Each structure stands twice: as C-alpha cells, then as structure tokens.
Structure 1
Amino acid sequence: MNAEVGARVVHRRYVPYSHAHYAGDLVDGAYSLGLFGDVATEMCIRTDGDEGLFASYSDVQFLAPVRAGDVLEVSCELVRVGRRSRVMDFAVTVVARGAATPERPGAAAVLDPPVLATTATGTVVVPPAG
C-alpha cells in the first residue's frame, strides 16, 4: 500500500427524501460532510490499509443547495502525504436532480453541466506504518 499525491476516490449517492430537513426539500450541510468521511475512509483503506481518523476540516464551502432527489458525485483527492497525516480535497457535485411535477411525480433530469455544491479540505491521520 502506498499513499501517493493524486490518488482519487469517487462515490455516487442518491439523496433520499427522508434526509430533507428544510423547505424546498433542502438537505443540511452536514450531509455533505458525512459523505466526505465516507470517501476519506475508502482512501485511507486503499492507501494505508486502515480506515483512518478525521482530524480536521478547513475551508468548507457550501456553494449550492443539495436537495432530496439529487444524485451526488462525491470525490476526494489526496493532495499531501505526511508520516501519519493525509490531506485531501473534497467535492460534492450534483449530477442529477429530481424534477417532480403533479403530472410526473418521479420526474428527474441529468444536469448538464453538473453543479458543484460543496468543497472542503480535510486532514486524516492513520497509524504509523509498521
């Protein structure tokens, strides 16, 4: 296993309506942060053979809403590797969105272009190599 700058992990996730907390089927920002934890965990498993532990987030930006019915692409890229720390850049991009109407309650559309909704930088720590 080898942690190399430029390594990437990408997940896709449908946002269920049970996660909507606000008017307009909005989902809270913590939802994106939880997804960042998921991709960071996979990154650490792939690079270090351990799930790792989140130490901090920096520069979290909520750029566009995430709504129930969205399909999200959640990505992380390894940008710095220390002895035990791993710094990653994260992004949540909305790639499809529900477009329900009374006539078509299940209508949805692929977004072209996709919408960048949330970004962050995070630091994860892993056990010493050994």
Structure 2
Amino acid sequence: MDDNVNSTTLRVRLRADDTKYAGGVIPAAHYMQLMSDAGAMLGVLRGESAGYLARWEGVDFTSVCYVGDYIEVRCELVQKGNRSRRMRVEVVKLISTDSGGRGQTTKGVVHEPPEVVARGEYVSVIPRADLE
C-alpha cells in the first residue's frame, strides 16, 4: 500500500457471460464496470478505501469488442481531494480473436498500438467512516 501509486491496469479476456447480445458483442456497461473496478483497485493500492462511484464525466465509446477479445483497462489518478479521487480511465483492445462470438479462440490479431475502445473520467468518494 503506497499513496505514491497513481496508476494501475487490469488485463481481461472477455467471456461469454460478459454479454447478453447476439454475436458476442460486449455491452458498453461492462466497460464502465471494469473501469470502476480499476479505480477501486487504485484506491486499495494507495492504502485508501476502494471508494464509491459519485459521477461519470465525458465517457466515449469508440470501438466494439467481442467475446474472446483481450482488453486492458488503464486508470490514472488526476486529482485527489480530502474524500474524493478523480480518475482518467481508458479501455484498449490488445487482441481481437476470431471466435465467431463464442469465445473459442482459433486465431487472433494483435493491435499494435492497442485500439481505444472507451475512455472517460470519473469521481469516487471515500466514506467518512473509512477516514477515521
């Protein structure tokens, strides 16, 4: 635990239970959940509370992912208040798989550089009880 930690990343392979859409398309809400998870992880790595989501700002979705793809969620602390943290988050696609939406990888394409899927900022708050 180190309050000098200002960024973190999560790497995830998208699974069939991450979607309800035909063709294995991953919903935008799933990216937002992973971005929130990365922010919570950053709080814990800093020795603080994981915090609670207070507000999303300027979230853009720029690409689509499918079951079987590999993504990375990047989270960076941009501002710290007494009880709040503002974080910049980005989801990038590292590998697209040719799975036909079934998650059964037979071959893939490595994105170099990684393809931006979603980005935005959000604010989380630390409960007063966690500060005592």
Band of TM-score, shorter chain: 0.7 to 0.9
Task: Give the TM-score of the pair, scaled to structure 2.
Answer: 0.84
Residue 73 of structure 1 corresponds to which residue in structure 2?
72
Q: Cα 1:23–1:127, aligned 2, differ >3 Å: closer, same or farther?
A: closer
- How far has the Cα of 1:99 moved from its partner? 2.0
Q: Is it true that 1:124 corresponds to 2:124 in the alignment? A: yes
Q: Is it true that 1:32 corresponds to 2:31 in the alignment? A: yes
Q: Is it true that 1:54 corresponds to 2:48 in the alignment? A: no
Task: Give the TM-score of the pair, scaled to structure 1.
Answer: 0.86
| % identical equivalent positions | 24
In the alignment, the residues of structure 2 paired with residue 77 and residue 105 of structure 1 have an alpha-carbon distance, to the nearest angstrom, of 31
Q: Cα 1:105–1:72, aligned 2, differ >3 Å: closer, same or farther?
A: closer
Structure 2, gaps ≥5 residues long: none
Residue 113 of structure 2: SS of its match in structure 1?
strand
Structure 1, gaps ≥5 residues long: none
Task: Tell me the number of residue pairs that the alignment of Structure 1 and Structure 2 aligns.
Answer: 127
**Contact 2:74/2:89, CA 8 A, preserved across alignment:** yes
In the alignment, the residues of structure 2 paired with residue 34 and residue 105 of structure 1 have an alpha-carbon distance, to the nearest angstrom, of 24
- How far has the Cα of 1:105 moved from its partner? 5.7
In the alignment, the residues of structure 2 paired with residue 13 and residue 3 of structure 1 have an alpha-carbon distance, to the nearest angstrom, of 25
Residue 18 of structure 1 corresponds to which residue in structure 2?
17
Q: Is it true that 1:63 corresponds to 2:62 in the alignment? A: yes
Q: Match of 2:64, as an amino acid?
A: P
**Contact 2:97/2:105, CA 8 A, preserved across alignment:** no
In the alignment, the residues of structure 2 paired with residue 61 and residue 67 of structure 1 have an alpha-carbon distance, to the nearest angstrom, of 18
